[in-house]
């Protein structure tokens, strides 16, 4: 017996609706990071004892309704901080990922070891974020974060 006319419309319409919902929910390929710990003045203050050698730690900072992501990494005893934004690829808003102990640009897949971050490779490199150590904490001022807001 043949199916009544129109009975296949609902199932057939369900597939495109489901595909659209899935594509919209997967548009943001950026992971969610923990909120950056703040000091009493609203600056970021990260306990340096929590940082491990050559292992980046990612954080988020809310500024005027915009999420600014950044990471810290300890290399050769010094702490470096970078926006989670590539100087060349930042318009794609994809940032970096960690893969096999390396830092990889999500947009162009250029891979860095921890030792290569400071010098970068060509025009693709993480954007430096100014910070300093003070009384056992790595401090990043709200102003330093605001200076890089255009990358996000």
**C-alpha–C-alpha distance, residues 90 and 124, integer Å:** 9
Per-residue pLDDT of the chain (152 residues; tens, 9 = 90+): 555 555 544 444 433 333 333 333 334 456 789 999 999 899 999 999 999 999 999 999 999 899 999 999 999 999 999 999 999 999 999 999 999 989 999 999 999 999 999 888 778 889 999 999 999 999 999 999 999 999 99
What's the predicted TM-score (pTM) here? Answer: 0.78
Per CATH, the homologous superfamily of domain 34-151 is: Rieske [2Fe-2S] iron-sulphur domain (2.102.10.10)
Q: Which residues pair with 47 in a beta bridge?
A: 137
Spatial strand order of the sheet with 44-47 comes to 44-47, 137-140, 132-134
């Amino acid at each position: 017996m043949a199916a009544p006319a129109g009975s296949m419309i609902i199932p057939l319409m369900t597939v495109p609706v489901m595909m659209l919902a899935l594509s919209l929910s997967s548009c943001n390929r950026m992971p969610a990071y923990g909120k950056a710990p703040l000091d009493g003045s609203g600056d970021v203050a990260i306990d340096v004892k929590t940082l491990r050698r050559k292992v980046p730690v990612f954080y988020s900072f809310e500024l005027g309704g915009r999420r600014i992501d950044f990471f810290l990494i300890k290399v050769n005893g010094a702490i470096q901080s970078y926006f989670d934004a590539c100087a060349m690829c930042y318009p794609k808003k994809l940032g970096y990922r960690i893969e096999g102990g390396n830092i990889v640009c999500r947009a162009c897949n250029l891979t860095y070891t921890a030792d290569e971050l400071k010098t970068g490779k060509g025009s693709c490199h993480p954007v430096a974020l100014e910070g300093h150590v003070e009384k056992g904490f790595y401090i990043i001022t709200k102003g330093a974060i605001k200076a890089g807001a255009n990358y996000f």
